[in-house]
Amino acid sequence: MRKNGSKIRFLLITALAAFIMHGCFGGIREDSVYEALPPIDPEAGIEREVSADLYFRLTDEPYLVKVTRNISVRANESRENAILRALLNGPPPLSNGVSGVLTESARVISVQLDGGILYVTMSREFIETDKNAGSREEIDELLRLRVFALVNSLTASGSADRIQILIDLDNSGTGLRVQRGMLGLHTEDTASSQLLEPLKFNSGIVVDSGKIADLALSHIRDGEYERAYNLFAQSESGGFQRPSYAAFETELKSLGALRDYKIISFRPPDSQELSASVNLDFVYTDGSAKTVKQAVLNLYREGDLIKVGYNSLLKLVQR
């Protein structure tokens, strides 16, 4: 009996221990309700490089050129601020034939995104020009290029499709909308207000194959050979090289004069081969004339630019 009693006590103690263990641990379950952690930007606080389309002026011309480069985005700096900083620094190295349009003294006061519109407040230097900048038309042209260099660069590479430019006129840190005319923009007769509204990407102010051909031919027609010379490629297919400026001017003048021209069509900049279809009226030095209809004028990529083939033009105007 004593042995049986001991066995019964042992079984009771074992059962009690198992019950206690089950009560302490068997009922614990992972809580099914939890708060998701906020997303963490893996690039926050880290300097990085990103590709951006920056727009600079085609030197001495009323158009902008797209320059695609890697830019540095500093730690805790927005992409938009980095783009503006790159514009203020001017064209990157090896960007021949393009010029910056933003004054070095201009400063970015603030950049804020609200409802798809990027509000960019610039210091008053943004609308100021050098006293020797030229005529009123030339000053307005410079201001327009300045505006759309900023707008096109931010809309092409940023997060907004419209840009509202504000100007800190009194150095108070507060941006104000200004009259369109203060930025070289034409007034709109139908608008209820002439204050600057948010602006979108302007493709009409960006140079393409047709505009390059038009500029080169217009300068030759007007006798502006030096300005035309910069728009011709240094080399072209067939091993032809652009002559020196002196030889370029002498050869064209000795042939005669381009009386008139018309750009009929052109291939877009992303085409594998570039060209423009043109009509030309050329008068030789002896008074005879040559008319060319829908002739192909070859163009070539040279760095960030598109340029005209000199030998291609020469073939069209020679007898």
For residues 212 and 231, give the distance between their C-alpha atoms in angstroms, rounded to a whole number: 7
pTM of the complete model: 0.82
Write out the E strands in 105-216: 108-114, 117-123, 162-168
Q: Which domains does the chain have, with CATH numbers?
A: 48-205 (no CATH), 209-317 (3.10.450.50)
Which residue in 176, 180, 179, 183 sits closest to 139, CA to CA? 183
pLDDT string in tens for the chain (319-residue length)? 444 455 545 544 454 444 444 444 343 333 333 333 344 444 556 889 999 999 999 999 999 999 999 999 999 899 999 999 999 999 988 778 999 999 889 999 999 999 889 999 999 999 998 877 789 999 999 999 999 999 999 999 878 999 999 999 999 999 999 999 999 998 765 566 799 999 999 999 999 999 999 999 999 999 999 999 999 999 999 999 999 999 999 999 999 999 999 999 999 888 889 999 999 999 999 999 999 999 999 999 999 999 999 999 999 999 9
Which residues does 57 contact at the CB level (< 8 Å), separation at least 6? 63, 64, 65, 98, 99, 100, 101, 145, 149
Q: What digits encode the pLDDT tens for the residues 92-145?
A: 887 789 999 998 899 999 999 998 899 999 999 999 988 777 899 999 999 999
